[in-house]
A and B are shown apart, each in its own frame.
Chain A
Amino acid sequence: MSAYNAHFRVWRGDSEKGDLVDYQVEVNEGEVVLDIIHRLQQTQAGDMAVRWNCKAGKCGSCSAEINGRPRLLCMTRMNTFAEDEVVTVTPMRTFPVIRDLVTDVEFNYQKAREIPSFAPPVGVEPGEYRMQQVDVERSQEFRKCIECYLCQNTCHVVRDHEENKPEFAGPRFLMRIAELDMHPLDAADRQKAAQEEHGLGYCNITKCCTEVCPEHIKITDNALIPLKERVVDRKYDPLVWLGSKIFKRGEKTDA
């Protein structure tokens, strides 16, 4: 592929107003969308705001929407578009926009703070934690999260319904609760809180969080549905309740 001129439409504006602005910009072989945004900054729009850091898909900074699809700017190759295709770049739509492609993702930090951190059993001090790899590897998948918040942005529960934000933690943080609930040494009660405080019931498992995850974490199948099933154990299944009484298992679904 030789260099060509692409037609870009980039949303420019702030929380008051904004619009899509057209640009013709050079594209070279091997470039990603972030390269083109940088070229626009250098050549045509020096005041264009974009958040970025590693340019390697690991820092989670350059989340945006490309042709309407939530993506990382640095991980979207230009050769996935036809040369005559218009490439539209907009900020994430679920969060307040600060300027151009930069949004305020404070909502996510707030939700993170609402989840109590890891709580070891009483009497077990740091340095005394013992667990086997097989017991922790399931939730290690969730640790691949780079906190790009594309899943939070895509989830229709808050994307299409701003009013649900206070009640709903979003897929990233429900996954965090699942991670802690599956932890062999976590002693806190996560299941009731997931349903009653963090809005697990709002999730209707339509899997958009999984579709957009740049780390390919199976958020729905491996975190949200197992967490829903654990809540069912706890709140809706009398057979499990009876079994836990007979076999004298603890509050957490543990053995």
Chain B
Amino acid sequence: MSTTADASAGRAQISARTLRTDRWWLPPLLTFAGLTAWVAYATVRAFMQDWYWVEQYHYLTPFYSPCVSLACDPESALVGRFLPDWPILPFAAVTLPFLLLFRLTCYYYRKAYYRSFWASPPACAVAEPHKRYTGETRFPLLGQNLHRYFFYAAVAISVVNTIDAGLAFRGADGGFGIGLGTVILVTNVVLLWAYTLSCHSCRSITLGRINHFSKHPVRYWSWQQVTKLNAKHQELAWTTLGTLALTDFYIMALAAGWFSDLRIVN
């Protein structure tokens, strides 16, 4: 157990784990439920290997982008098909691990799951249940320092998502067209860029690591913009989980024929 009331250290002897009277357990509980539900949905969809593509309007769900499995529909495979068609291998197995690691090592998500999944701590001034604590000083949590590499990968993947959204401006006759699916894909990719660029690593790379702002006016301007976005990193982290699931669900529903796309232009 923790040593919050460690008598040998001369601390005040208060046996209660916490004296907080508010519902401190609610935020970690909601976070736990939200993240668990999302991971369950994403896992099912990533391994479903079906209902990911609407050829008529060139809609490809972000969970399958880029589609690189030999089983991918040829029209959906922008960068070629080279991964073997195995049931345990998602069609976008080249990118999904990087996206997962980008979010897993994200400074916001770290706070979220350290609190809600590992109770370290469950809430501020609430004693954690662990006997020892070494934080991010050793393997495997030392690996959290690789966040910026996954940030670089996430930028590249956001470019792919942007191309997907651009190609979704297609009408039924093969020409220009806009449907609700296009709007959803574009909204999703704009928010994905906002989340990616609001990353703390991005903030450090733009200028945070430099001490003389006055010598780098352009980078200083970009740092200021990233800093503004960074203040919304938590909100963007949750919003993009929502838009990713929504985008995927909408395209799954279209591909499965549950309903048809609402067309705005062509």
Contacts and interface: CB of A to CB of B under 8 A. Distances in A.
A215 interface: no
Contacts of B107: 205, 225
B133 A97 contact: no
B230 interface: yes
Contact of B208 (A65, A205, A211, A226): A226
Nearest to A210: B124
Interface string A152-192: 00101101111110000000000000000011100000000
A201 interface: yes
B132 A161 contact: yes
Contacts of A104: 10
Interface in A97-111: 97, 103-104
28 contacts: A11-B14, A18-B12, A65-B19, A69-B125, A86-B21, A88-B21, A93-B5, A96-B9, A154-B125, A156-B127, A159-B4, A161-B132, A162-B3, A162-B6, A163-B3, A201-B136, A201-B142, A202-B135, A203-B136, A205-B107, A206-B124, A228-B145, A230-B209, A232-B147, A232-B201, A232-B204, A255-B215, A255-B216
Interface string A220-255: 010001101111110111001000000000001111
Interface string B175-199: 0000000000000000000000000
A207 B115 CA distance: 10
B243 interface: no
A249 B115 CA distance: 39
Instruction: Name the 8 nearest CB pairs between A and B, nearest first.
Output: A96-B10, A68-B19, A68-B20, A160-B2, A229-B204, A201-B137, A208-B124, A202-B135
Given A160-B133, A229-B204, A69 B20 contact: yes
B153 to A, nearest CB: 13
Contacts of A20: 14
B23 interface: no
A206 B115 contact: yes
Interface of B: 2-6, 8-14, 18-22, 107, 110-111, 114-115, 120-121, 124-128, 130, 132-138, 141-142, 145-148, 200-201, 203-204, 208-216, 220, 230-231
A199 B5 CA distance: 23
A231 B211 CA distance: 14
Nearest to B210: A255
B211 A183 contact: yes
A169 B48 CA distance: 49
Given A156-B121, A162-B3, A204-B136, 11 more contacts: A20-B14, A85-B21, A90-B14, A96-B10, A97-B10, A97-B11, A103-B12, A154-B125, A157-B133, A160-B121, A255-B212
- Most interface-central of B21, B135, B213, B220 (chain A CB within 10 A): B135
Nearest to B149: A237
A119 B137 CA distance: 28
Nearest to A207: B111
A91 B6 CA distance: 14
Contacts of A221: 200, 230-231
A132 B132 CA distance: 45
Interface of A: 11, 13, 15, 17-18, 20, 65, 67-70, 85-86, 88, 90-91, 93-97, 103-104, 132, 134-135, 138, 154, 156-157, 159-164, 182-184, 199, 201-208, 211-212, 221, 225-226, 228-233, 235-237, 240, 252-255
Contacts of A163: 3, 132
A134 B214 contact: yes
A184 B12 contact: no
Contacts of B147: 232
A225 B200 contact: yes
A199 to B, nearest CB: 7
A252 B134 CA distance: 27
Given A69-B20, A228-B145, A253-B209, A162 B9 contact: yes
A42 to B, nearest CB: 24
B194 to A, nearest CB: 17
Contacts of B11: 15, 93-97, 162
A229 B200 contact: yes
A85 to B, nearest CB: 8
A205 B110 contact: yes
- Most interface-central of A93, A103, A161, A204 (chain B CB within 10 A): A204
A226 B206 CA distance: 12
Contacts of A255: 210, 212, 215-216
Given A93-B5, A204-B136, A233 B204 contact: yes
Contacts of B128: 156, 160
A104 B124 CA distance: 21
Contacts of B212: 135, 184, 254-255
Given A201-B142, A228-B145, A68 B18 contact: yes
